[in-house]
Structures are given as C-alpha cells and as structure tokens.
Chains A and B, each alone.
Chain A
Amino acid sequence: MNVDGHTPDTAPAPHTTDALSLPPATHTPEIVPYDMLEPKPSRLSRISQTDPAPDKRMSAHAKVGHGVKLEKLRAFYGEVEQVKGIDLDFRANEVTAIIGPSGCGKSTMVRCINRMHEEIPGARAEGRVLLDELDIYDPAIDVVAVRRAIGMVFQKPNPFPTMSVFDNVAAGLRLSSRKPSDLQHKVESALRGAGLWEEVKDRLGEAGAGLSGGQQQRLCIARSLAVEPEVILMDEPCSALDPIATLKIEELIDQLKVRVTIVIVTHNMQQAARVADRTAFMLGGELVEVGPTQEIFTNPGDPRTEEYVTGKFG
C-alpha cells in the first residue's frame, strides 16, 4: 500500500508527469495550473463524521484518483421507479458516458451520485453509492460535503445572474462554509482549467451572463472545478451549445480526466464515442451493458445496444 504517495515532498503521481497539452500561458510561474495540483485523498473521508475502518481509510489514501461505484441503485419519483437497480463502476480518472433513449433514467441515475435527486419533492433513492468505498448515502454523511466532492455541470449553462465572471467562479468557495483563502489564485487556476482564462482575463468584473453560451458553460465548469471536486457529473453539458463550443468542451473533458473522474450523460452518440473511455447503455431504468466505448459501438454484447447505437430506435 503506497501511503507515501501523499506526503507532500514525494514525486507527483505518475499521471501528472504525462505530457499535458496545456496552452503555454498556463505556465505563469506563480500560478499552479489546475491539473498540476497534486491529487489528494477523498475529502469526504475526512469530512465524514463516521470513522471508517482503518483499512478503508488507507485504501482511500492510496488511490490516485477517485472512483464511484453504484450498488443496486434504485431511484423513485413518488411511487414511480425511474432507476431500477443499477450496479455500475465509474473508474478513477476515466470518462464514462451514459447513453440511452429519453426517459431511460440516465439523468436521474447521475443525479443520485451527488444526492441532487433527493432535492426534488417526493424523490428518493435506495441502494448504495460508494465514493472510494465510502457510502455517500450513509446517514452520518453530510450531503453538503458530498456535493463538494462530486461536482455537477448541468444541461443549460446557468451562471449566477447577479454575479460577475470572477464571482461566479468564486461562488463555490464563498458559498461553502469555510473561509476562502487565496481566492484570486484559485479562481484563475479554475478558469485556466476550464480553458476560459485567456478569453475572460480582461473582463473578470463583467456579468457572467454576458458571455457566449459556450463560454458560459465553460464558466460553469470552472465554477465546479474551483471547489476541487474529485468527480464531475455532466448532464448533457453540450446539448444547448453549437458544434464549435461543443468541441471545446470535449477537448476540455479530455484534459480534465487526469485530475477528476468524469461521468457524462449524452444524447449524442458521436460525443460518447469521442470523449468516453467507457460507455454504459441504459434502457427503461436498467443498465443494459457497460464496456470500453470502442466495444459498445462496434461489438456490443446485447442486441438492444446494437439496435440503439445503429439508430434503430431512440
């Protein structure tokens, strides 16, 4: 067990030394680029009031990224069961795409991962969602801490309308109860991480809602990056964007996965094929199959998957 991996003076974890296709501007000396920051153990394991067994805590520390595991996850709206018992692994530092026809429960399932599902009146979830082996549905877990560890980007770009670009990115830090320190740097590195810094550095004081749609969505990504989440859930993040803005977000997803685990819900199968390491196909609230993206699209194991990816329904 590599516990040493987290003492500050050891070499960075292997993946951070990979050649990163960062724009040259990211190398301003005093700013730590977002994706160069050293991965930390899951914050949730420290915030949680439960005292997990020592071996569990150790394994959480030893991991570089953070994985999510669904165990018999079921989600309800009142009496209607929308997600019908899903077991699924989201591997650390991978992009997992969820595809499936409208109403198949993709969004509901993803919203269960950071416990946003329960915000809807009458909605509830059953089963377990493990973040590094820690059940986020454990009664002792603080739901606010869960959401800090597992960020979310929504379908429509929704910057806070009363706030400037800067304040939008700082919002997560200011809204969480701890006193934000070093705001300037954190905002800058989050904006760099979202590939937006060069475009907005001279208009940080302007309204966030005044940016273009694609910029707004990257602003929302920067906003969720600023709180340094371990997992980012994206619920059809490009469905309201034009193809060029979509391309930028997809490139961004590719860069971000060295730092966070990404789950992306998409209607666009080409997008899944372009960005995802693994793809899961859902139908009628159930998981049909999950596997390497290449395999799901070229050689699916289930005939229903094949019908869907070849456009026979959906």
Chain B
Amino acid sequence: MLERFAVSPKRRRRDRLARSAILAATAIALIPLALIVYYLLSKGLGSWSWSFFTTDPTGNTFFASSSIGGIKSAILGTIEIVAVASALSIPIGIGVAVWLVEYGRDSRFAHTVRFFVDVLTGVPSIMFGLFVYIVLIIGTGSTYAAYKGSFALALLMLPVVTRSAEVVLLLIPGALRESALALGAPRWRVIFKIVLPTALPGLVTGVLLAIARAAGETAPLLFTAGATLKTGFGLSGFMNSLPIQIYTDVTSATTSVVNRAWGAALTLVAMILLLNLFARMVARRSSLG
C-alpha cells in the first residue's frame, strides 16, 4: 500500500544532487568573504593602537628612527566627505524615487528618468571623478577641495539611493496609500506620514549600501579632494581620506607603511559595520512591532 506514495529513488537522487549543488555555490561564495575578513584582521589588527587613531600621518616613510604617524586625518576626512556627499545625495535620491513611484509612474518622462538612473548606476566611479575634475577644477581653474570630492561621491551615490528607494517604495502596498487617501489626506501627507515611515527600514538599507560604496571609493577622490597629511575641516581645502591613504600606503617600500594600509582598511570596514548596526537599530526602534 505504502509504495504508492513512496519517493522514487531517481527523484531522491536528483533532489540530493540539486541540494548539494546549491550548498556548494553558497560555500564558494563565502570563501572570498571569509578570506577578506581573515586577512584584514590578521594584517590590520597589528597596526591598531591608540596613536594610530589619534595622530596624523607624518609623511616619513624612510627613516626607521622617526614615526610614520597614524591615520587620524584620513578617518576624519572620510567621515566629513561622505557625510557631505550623503547630505546632498540622500534627500535628492529619495525625492526622485518618491516622484517616480508616486507621481511619475508610467509616464514617458518617468521612463526616461529610470533609464538614465540605470545608466548612471553602471558608470565607472572614476568617471564621476573625471567629471568633477573637468567641471569644478579645470572649469573653474582652481585646485583640489574636499567639497569637490563630496560632489563626486554624491553623484556616485545618487543612482544607488534612487534605485534602491524606488524598489522599496514599490513594495508598499497600494491599499495602504488608498486607505490614507480615502481618509481625506492630501497626497503629500500620505507620502510623508504613511508611505515613507512604512518604507523606512528598506530605505535605510539602500542608503547604507550607497554610503558603504561611497566610503570605499578611491577613484572619485584622487583628483578632486586630493591627498594630504594634516587634519583639516575646511571643505574648500585638501582633505585626506581612508581610501586615498590606503592607496598611497600600499605601494610603499616600507613594511610599516604597508601595514598602516591594512590597518586603515580594517578601520574603514569597521566604520561601515558600526554605521550599519547603528542605522538598523534606529530604523527598528522607529517602526512598531
């Protein structure tokens, strides 16, 4: 009797094969990730110390008798440049997404905007740096400045923020908007009080992705914000940043300077991880149940 419902050996074999294939793919994907974390920790942790975070790089890379300094200016520079870039790109990006989902919908202009946002997502990051270089540095006949680096990063973040926010907003059920509209709420209030708060956790995820990507970019900063040693907060001066610090350190002939690059890389990853945890906590607290 039972045999009518027994699983055939052939199907069982196929199931096992498919399962192990998927498992293998997962394992292969995890290997580089695990290796990256391992190398970062093993090579980077060694150079971490109090003075590593609290002193500027000295520029000395030859004489063992004097210190090479830490990465203070790079940490503060990255925070400032990325913060300004975020302040520029997040509101605009989410604004574009809101327009696309709530107003533009299927109009021809909306499709055009979507197309260009997609194109922008695929543009190599050095192009944003080049664009800012040509417009704001060659164009104005001036030199590198932190805010120009922020502009380049903001351009890079904009399509990422827009695209991810659009996807999240599309997931908000139309019934929610309808029931709010049916209460006699003006459309903009429905967006601010219902749609955006409901979408918040997803919006945060997209924004974090964009920030993480921007924080790790070297190319757009190379010839926009420049490289410097000293900590400075003025947006119109040169500003150091972690990717640039890593870029210049890693090619050095001195072991201690190369190790500083590893330390800086680990710092960058740790900062993004902290930001992630913090933002997720905030997003969770602000949404109920």
A residues near B (Cβ < 8 Å) are: 114, 116, 119, 121, 144-149, 151-152, 154, 156, 158, 160-164, 171-172, 174-177, 206-207, 209-210, 220, 223-224, 227
Which of B131-139, B182-190, B261-269 has 4 or more CB atoms under 8 Å from chain A?
B182-190
Most buried by A among B179, B186, B288: B179
Measured between beta carbons, the chain B residues less than 8 angstroms from A146 are 184
Q: Across the interface, do B178 and A145 meet the contact criterion of CB distance under 8 Å?
A: no
Query: Knowing A119-B181, A161-B198, A224-B182 touch, does A207 contact B288 (C-beta < 8 A)?
Result: yes
Q: Across the interface, do A158 and B176 meet the contact criterion of CB distance under 8 Å?
A: yes
Name A162's closest neighbour in chain B (CB-CB): B197
What are 7 contact pairs spanning A and B, CB under 8 A?
A151-B184, A162-B198, A175-B180, A175-B190, A210-B289, A224-B182, A227-B183
Measured between beta carbons, the chain B residues less than 8 angstroms from A114 are 182
Q: Across the interface, do B182 and A152 meet the contact criterion of CB distance under 8 Å?
A: yes
Measured between beta carbons, the chain A residues less than 8 angstroms from B213 are none
Measured between beta carbons, the chain A residues less than 8 angstroms from B198 are 160-162
CB distance from A281 to the nearest CB of B (A): 25
B residues near A (Cβ < 8 Å) are: 105-106, 173, 175-186, 189-190, 193-194, 197-198, 200, 287-289
CB distance from B33 to the nearest CB of A (A): 33
Q: Across the interface, do A176 and B181 meet the contact criterion of CB distance under 8 Å?
A: no
Q: Across the interface, do B175 and A147 meet the contact criterion of CB distance under 8 Å?
A: no
Q: Across the interface, do B175 and A160 meet the contact criterion of CB distance under 8 Å?
A: no
Q: Across the interface, do B183 and A223 meet the contact criterion of CB distance under 8 Å?
A: yes
CA distance A30 to B43 in the complex (A): 71
Measured between beta carbons, the chain B residues less than 8 angstroms from A174 are 193
Among A172, A177, A209, which residue has its beta carbon within 8 angstroms of that of B183? A172
Name A229's closest neighbour in chain B (CB-CB): B184
Measured between beta carbons, the chain B residues less than 8 angstroms from A224 are 182-183
Measured between beta carbons, the chain A residues less than 8 angstroms from B200 are 162
Given contacts A161-B288, A164-B288, A176-B183, 20 further A-B contacts (CB under 8 A): A116-B178, A119-B181, A144-B184, A146-B184, A147-B182, A147-B184, A149-B184, A156-B175, A158-B176, A160-B176, A160-B179, A160-B198, A162-B197, A162-B198, A162-B288, A175-B190, A175-B193, A223-B179, A224-B183, A227-B184
Measured between beta carbons, the chain B residues less than 8 angstroms from A207 are 288-289
CB distance from A33 to the nearest CB of B (A): 21
Name B106's closest neighbour in chain A (CB-CB): A121
Number of residue pairs spanning A and B whose beta carbons lie under 8 angstroms apart:
88
CB distance from A310 to the nearest CB of B (A): 34
Name B177's closest neighbour in chain A (CB-CB): A119
CB distance from A115 to the nearest CB of B (A): 9
CA distance A75 to B229 in the complex (A): 69
CA distance A220 to B184 in the complex (A): 14
Q: Across the interface, do B179 and A147 meet the contact criterion of CB distance under 8 Å?
A: no
CA distance A220 to B175 in the complex (A): 12
Most buried by B among A144, A154, A162, A207: A162
Q: Across the interface, do B288 and A148 meet the contact criterion of CB distance under 8 Å?
A: no
Name B105's closest neighbour in chain A (CB-CB): A121
Measured between beta carbons, the chain B residues less than 8 angstroms from A162 are 194, 197-198, 200, 287-288
CB distance from A77 to the nearest CB of B (A): 13
Measured between beta carbons, the chain B residues less than 8 angstroms from A121 are 105-106
CA distance A156 to B198 in the complex (A): 18
CA distance A143 to B143 in the complex (A): 54
Among A151, A160, A177, which residue has its beta carbon within 8 angstroms of that of B194? A160
Name A174's closest neighbour in chain B (CB-CB): B193
CA distance A154 to B287 in the complex (A): 24
CA distance A210 to B198 in the complex (A): 16
Query: Knowing A158-B173, A207-B289, A210-B289 touch, does A172 contact B185 (C-beta < 8 A)?
Result: yes
CB distance from B203 to the nearest CB of A (A): 13
CA distance A116 to B178 in the complex (A): 8
Measured between beta carbons, the chain B residues less than 8 angstroms from A148 are 183-184
CB distance from B187 to the nearest CB of A (A): 9
CA distance A114 to B181 in the complex (A): 10
CB distance from A199 to the nearest CB of B (A): 18
Q: Across the interface, do B179 and A175 meet the contact criterion of CB distance under 8 Å?
A: no
Most buried by A among B173, B177, B289: B289
Measured between beta carbons, the chain A residues less than 8 angstroms from B194 are 160, 162, 171, 175
CA distance A171 to B197 in the complex (A): 13
Measured between beta carbons, the chain B residues less than 8 angstroms from A171 are 180, 183, 185, 193-194
Measured between beta carbons, the chain B residues less than 8 angstroms from A176 are 183-185
Measured between beta carbons, the chain A residues less than 8 angstroms from B182 are 114, 116, 147, 151-152, 154, 224
CA distance A175 to B195 in the complex (A): 12
Measured between beta carbons, the chain A residues less than 8 angstroms from B179 are 152, 154, 158, 160, 220, 223
Measured between beta carbons, the chain B residues less than 8 angstroms from A144 are 184-186
CA distance A163 to B289 in the complex (A): 9
Name B194's closest neighbour in chain A (CB-CB): A160
CA distance A202 to B231 in the complex (A): 56
Q: Across the interface, do A175 and B185 meet the contact criterion of CB distance under 8 Å?
A: yes
CB distance from B38 to the nearest CB of A (A): 40
Measured between beta carbons, the chain A residues less than 8 angstroms from B189 are 175, 177
Q: Across the interface, do A145 and B184 meet the contact criterion of CB distance under 8 Å?
A: yes
Measured between beta carbons, the chain B residues less than 8 angstroms from A164 are 288
